Amino acid sequence: MNQQLYQIDLLLQINDIRQQIAQVQSEIQLTQRRKAGTQEINQKLRSRWNAQEDQLLVSKVKLFGIHNYQEIAQNIPNKTASQVYFRLRYLKSIFQQDKEVYQNKTDLQWLGEISVNNNK
C-alpha cells in the first residue's frame, strides 16, 4: 500500500515537472519570436528611402489607394506602415510649397512628380 502511494506521488510529481517544462518551452519560443520580430522591425526602421522605393511607392498607392498604409508597406521591402505614412506626408508637404500647382493636380500626380525629383 505504501509503495503504491509512493508510485502515485512520483507520477504526480513527474506530471507537474512535464507541465513546467512545457510552460518554459512555450515562453522560450515566444521570446524567440519576439526577438525575431524586433530584429525585422529594427532593420526596417534603419533603412532610408531610395528612388526605386519611391517609384514602388507610387505604383502601390495607385494600386491600393493613398491611405492604405499597411497594405502598401507589406508590398515595399523593409518599410513599415508608419514609414509609408510619413513618406507620403513628407512628399505632400514638399509639393504643397507650390500651392498653385498643387490645386490643379490630384494626389497621384503630385506623388509621381515629387518622388522622381526628390529623394530625401
pLDDT beneath 70: ranges in the chain: 37-46, 97-120
Distance of CA 36 to the CA centre of its chain: 12
Question: Domain limits at 34?
Answer: 1-46
Query: What is the helix (H) or strand (E) element at residue 96, kind and residue range?
Result: none
| Total number of domains in the chain | 2
pTM: predicted TM-score of the whole model, two decimal places: 0.50
pLDDT at 74: 92
Give yes or no: residues 41 and 100 share one domain: no
- Which residues does 77 contact at the CB level (< 8 Å), separation at least 6? none
pLDDT at 33: 78
Give yes or no: residues 71 and 91 share one domain: yes
Give yes or no: residues 52 and 15 share one domain: no
Q: What Å distances lie between residue 40 and 33, 43, 98, CA to CA?
A: 11, 5, 38
pLDDT at 78: 85
Q: What angle do CA 51, 56, 59 make, to 5 degrees?
A: 130
pLDDT at 11: 85
Q: In whole numbers, what is the pLDDT of the chain averaged over residues?
A: 79
Q: What does the alpha-carbon distance between residue 95 and residue 31 come to, in Å, rounded to a whole number?
A: 44
